[in-house]
C-alpha cells in the first residue's frame, strides 16, 4: 500500500490544504462551548441582553466560517482522491495490458476486474475521508479534553478515563477487522468470477438447461461472501453502541460530579454545559473516526491487492539471444519447441520442428486439444516456449520488442471478437491510418464487401457490443478483414472460417493467395478441404507432430491425417 502513495504526490497542495482547513473548522468548533459558557455565566446570569446578542452573533460568525472551511476542505480532498484514483487506474490498466497470457491466467480476469473497479473505489473513499477526518477527529478529541481541563480541572477528570477507554475499543475492533476485510474482498472476487462466467456463457447455459445449477453455484459464492461480510459487520456494529455506552456513561458521571461541584461553588453552570458539549463533541468525532478507520481498513486490504498486481512482473521481457536459426532466410522456424502451461504437469506441445519459407501457406490440423492454437500463440509471444526457440525472420522472437514483433503479425483469433463502434473503427484496429480504398480492398479479400455494401451506412454502420448485430459468418469475415488491413508479413488464421460455407471458404483462400504483399500464412482448420492446397501441412496429435508434408504426401504417409480426411470425405465428399 505504501508504494501507492506516489500517486498522491501530484496532489500535494490539495493534500495539505484540505486537512489544514479541516483543522481551522475544528478550532472554531472547539471555541463554541466556551462561548456558550460565557452566554450562561455572564449574559443569562446578569440578564445582559446586548452581551447575549453579541455572543449569538459570534456563534453565527463561527458557523459561517466553519462552513466555508468545510466546503474548501471537501473540494480539495475530493480533487486529490479522484485524481489519485484516476492516475492509479490508468497505470494499473497499462500494466495489465503488458501481461502475457500466462500472467492473465495466473492472476485471473475476474480478480483484475475487481482490482480496477471495487478496490480502487475503496482506496479513493479512504483517501477522501482521511484528508477530511483522520486528522480532524483526534484534534477535536484531544482539544476537547485540554479545553475541558482549562474550564475546570476537578470536573474534567472524567475525560482522562473516557478517552483512553474509547481508544482501546476503537483500535481493538480495527485490528480484528483488517484480516477479515481481506477475506471479504477475496470472496467478492469469486462472486465476480461466477457472474462473469454466467454472463459470458448465458447461451450455453440456456442451451443445456443449466440455469438451476448456475443459480445454486452463484448462491453458494454469494452466501459465503454474505456470511463473512455479516460477520465483519457484526464486529463493526459493536463500535457505535460501545462508544455511546462509554461516552453517555461519562456524561452521566460528569453531570453528577458537576452538580455537586456547582453546589459547593467550585464550578459554574456554564462550566458543566461546556464540558457536556465537549463530551458530546468527542462522541460525534469518535463515531466519524471509527467510520473512517473502517474505510481505511478496507482500503489497506484493497491497496495491498492493487499493489500486488502492480508488482507482478511482466513475464515477457526482451532478451539478447545468440541462438542461431536453422534457416536465417525462413519466415518462421520452430526449433525443438515444447510448451507447458503454468500449473500443468504435462506438456501441451513437445518436440516441434518446422521451417516455414517466406510467402508460404502452412496448414495446421489435428484433433481438438492437439495444441494447434498453442503452437501459433508462440509466434507473437502470447506464450513463451518452455523449451526450444521460435524464430521470426531468423531472429529469436524473445529478442524483439513486443510491439516490434506483433507489428509483423496479423491474427484472426479462434473466437471472432468485434468491439462496439462502427465497421470502420473495427477495421482501423489493423492499421490506424488506412484509407477507405485499403479498407474496401481488405473487405473484398475477406469476402465481406458485399454485405457491408448492403448496410445503409456502409463502413460507418454501427457495430454493437461484441458485434451482436452481425451473424457468426459476418463477424468472422470482418475479423479477417481487420487482419488483412494491416498488410503484415505473417498472417495467422485460427480456424477463422468455421462459420463459412465451402464456397465462401474457397473464395477466401483464393483471395489470400492473391494478396499483393504475399504474406506467410498459417491456416488452422478442422477441415482438410481448407488446407489441402497449402504448401506445407503440419499434423498434430496430443501436442506431438504426427506428420509434415503436402496433402498428397500426408494421405500416403500419415495415418492421423488420412483418418481425418476420410471421415470428412465420407460425410461430405471432396470439398473445394
What does the alpha-carbon distance between residue 124 and residue 165 come to, in Å, rounded to a whole number? 31
Residue 569 vs residue 516, higher pLDDT: 516
What SS3 string covers 242-266?
A: HHHHHHHHHHHHHHHHHHHHHHCCC
pLDDT at residue number 15: 92
Set of cell numbers at residue 415:
473466437
Residue 404, C-beta contacts closer than 8 angstroms, at least 6 positions apart: none
Q: Is 77:29 a contact under the CB 8 Å cutoff?
A: no
DSSP 334: E
Q: What mean pLDDT, rounded, does the chain reach?
A: 87
What does the alpha-carbon distance between residue 190 and residue 198 come to, in Å, rounded to a whole number? 12
> Using 50, 70 and 90 to split pLDDT, how confident is the model at 325?
confident
Q: pLDDT per residue over 516-546, tens digit each?
A: 889 999 999 888 888 888 999 999 998 899 9
Set of cell numbers at residue 530:
481448407
> What is the CA 237 to chain-centroid distance, rounded?
30
Is 499's pLDDT higher than 60?
A: yes
Percent of the chain with pLDDT over 90: 36
> Using 50, 70 and 90 to split pLDDT, how confident is the model at 575?
very low
Residue 264, C-beta contacts closer than 8 angstroms, at least 6 positions apart: none
What does the alpha-carbon distance between residue 489 and residue 521 come to, in Å, rounded to a whole number? 9
Lowest mean pLDDT among 98-107, 470-479, 489-498, 563-572: 563-572
What SS3 string covers 283-296?
A: HHHHHHHHHHHHHH
Set of cell numbers at residue 356:
516455414
Q: pLDDT per residue over 546-567, tens digit each?
A: 999 999 999 999 999 999 888 8
- Give me the DSSP letters along 532-554: TT-SEEEEEETTEEEEEE-HHHH
Backbone angles phi, psi at 56, to 5 degrees: -65, -40
Mean pLDDT of 491-514: 86
In this structure, which long-range contacts are made by residues 57-64, counting pairs with CB atoms below 8 Å and at least 24 apart in sequence? 59/32, 59/35, 62/28, 62/31, 62/32, 62/35
Return the residue matching grid coordinates 504483399: 517
Is 416's pLDDT higher than 90?
A: no
Backbone angles phi, psi at 205, to 5 degrees: -60, -45
Pairing of strands 361-366, 349-356: unpaired
Looking at CATH, the fold of the domain delimited by 2-311 is given as: ABC transporter transmembrane region fold (1.20.1560)
Domain ranges of the chain: 2-311
- Cross-strand partners of 338: 387
Q: pLDDT per residue over 32-66, tens digit each?
A: 888 888 888 888 888 888 888 998 999 999 999 99
What does the alpha-carbon distance between residue 452 and residue 443 come to, in Å, rounded to a whole number? 8
Strand ranges in 357-502 using DSSP code E only, listed in sequence order: 361-366, 387-392, 395-396, 409-412, 421-422, 462-463, 490-494
SS3 378: coil
Q: pLDDT per residue over 117-153, tens digit each?
A: 888 999 999 999 999 888 888 888 888 888 888 888 8
DSSP 117: I
- Cross-strand partners of 541: 544
- Cross-strand partners of 524: 364, 494
Amino acid at each position: 500500500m505504501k508504494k501507492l502513495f506516489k500517486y498522491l504526490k501530484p496532489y500535494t497542495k490539495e493534500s495539505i490544504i484540505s486537512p489544514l482547513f479541516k483543522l481551522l473548522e475544528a478550532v472554531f468548533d472547539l471555541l463554541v462551548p466556551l462561548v456558550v459558557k460565557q452566554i450562561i455565566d455572564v449574559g443569562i446570569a446578569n440578564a445582559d441582553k446586548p452581551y447575549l446578542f453579541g455572543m449569538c452573533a459570534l456563534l453565527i460568525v463561527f458557523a459561517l466560517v466553519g462552513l466555508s472551511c468545510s466546503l474548501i476542505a471537501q473540494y480539495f480532498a475530493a480533487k486529490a482522491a479522484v485524481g489519485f484514483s484516476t492516475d492509479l487506474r490508468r497505470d494499473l490498466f497499462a500494466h495489465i495490458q503488458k501481461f502475457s497470457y500466462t500472467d492473465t491466467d495466473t492472476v485471473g480476469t475476474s480478480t483484475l476486474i475487481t482490482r480496477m473497479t471495487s478496490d480502487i473505489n475503496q482506496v479513493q473513499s479512504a483517501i477522501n475521508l482521511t484528508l477530511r477526518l483522520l486528522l480532524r477527529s483526534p484534534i477535536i478529541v484531544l482539544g476537547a479534553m485540554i479545553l475541558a481541563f482549562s474550564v475546570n480541572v476537578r470536573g474534567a477528570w472524567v475525560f482522562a478515563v473516557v478517552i483512553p477507554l474509547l481508544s482501546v475499543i476503537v483500535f481493538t475492533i480495527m485490528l480484528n477487522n483488517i484480516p477479515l476485510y481481506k477475506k471479504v474482498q477475496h470472496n467478492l472476487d469469486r462472486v465476480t468470477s461466477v457472474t462473469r462466467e454466467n454472463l459470458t456463457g448465458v447461451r450455453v447455459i440456456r442451451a443445456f438447461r443449466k440455469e438451476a445449477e448456475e443459480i445454486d453455484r452463484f448462491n453458494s459464492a454469494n452466501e459465503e461472501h454474505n456470511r463473512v461480510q455479516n460477520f465483519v459487520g457484526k464486529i463493526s456494529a459493536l463500535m457505535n453502541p460501545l462508544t455511546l455506552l462509554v461516552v453517555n456513561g461519562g456524561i452521566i458521571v460528569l453531570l453528577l460530579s458537576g452538580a455537586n461541584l456547582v453546589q459547593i461553588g467550585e464550578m459554574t453552570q456554564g462550566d458543566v454545559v461546556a464540558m457536556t458539549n465537549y463530551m458530546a463533541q468527542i462522541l460525534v468525532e469518535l463515531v466519524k473516526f471509527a467510520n473512517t478507520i473502517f474505510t481505511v481498513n478496507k482500503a489497506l486490504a484493497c491497496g495491498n491487492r492493487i499493489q500486488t498486481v502492480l508488482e507482478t512482473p511482466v513475464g515477457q521481457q526482451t532478451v539478447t539471444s545468440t541462438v542461431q536459426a536453422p534457416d536465417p532466410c525462413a519466415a518462421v522456424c520452430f526449433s525443438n519447441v515444447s510448451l507447458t502451461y503454468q500449473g500443468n504437469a504435462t506438456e501441451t506441445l513437445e518436440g516441434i520442428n518446422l521451417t516455414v519459407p517466406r510467402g508460404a501457406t502452412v496448414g495446421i490440423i489435428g484433433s481438438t486439444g492437439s495444441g494447434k492454437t498453442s503452437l501459433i500463440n508462440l509466434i507473437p509471444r502470447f506464450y513463451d516456449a518452455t523449451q526450444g526457440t521460435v524464430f521470426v525472420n531468423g531472429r529469436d522472437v524473445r529478442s524483439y520488442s513486443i510491439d516490434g514483433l506483433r507489428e509483423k503479425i496479423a491474427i484472426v483469433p479462434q473466437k471472432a471478437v468485434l468491439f462496439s463502434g462502427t465497421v470502420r473503427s473495427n477495421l482501423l484496429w489493423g492499421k490506424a491510418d488506412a484509407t477507405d480504398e485499403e479498407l474496401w480492398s481488405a473487405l473484398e479479400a475477406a469476402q465481406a464487401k458485399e454485405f457491408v455494401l448492403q448496410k445503409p451506412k456502409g463502413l460507418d454502420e454501427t457495430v454493437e457490443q461484441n458485434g451482436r448485430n452481425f451473424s457468426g459468418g459476418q463477424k468472422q469475415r470482418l475479423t479477417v478483414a481487420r487482419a488483412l488491413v494491416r498488410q503484415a508479413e505473417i498472417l495467422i488464421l485460427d480456424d477463422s472460417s468455421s462459420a463459412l460455407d465451402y464456397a465462401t471458404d474457397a473464395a477466401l483462400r483464393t483471395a489470400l493467395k492473391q494478396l499483393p504483399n504475399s504474406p506467410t500464412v498459417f491456416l488452422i482448420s478442422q477441415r482438410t478441404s481448407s488446407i489441402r492446397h497449402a504448401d506445407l501441412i503440419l499434423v498434430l496429435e496430443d501436442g506431438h507432430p504426427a506428420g509434415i508434408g503436402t496433402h498428397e504426401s500426408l494421405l500416403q504417409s500419415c495415418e492421423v491425417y488420412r483418418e481425418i480426411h476420410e471421415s470428412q470425405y465420407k460425410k461430405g465428399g471432396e470439398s473445394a
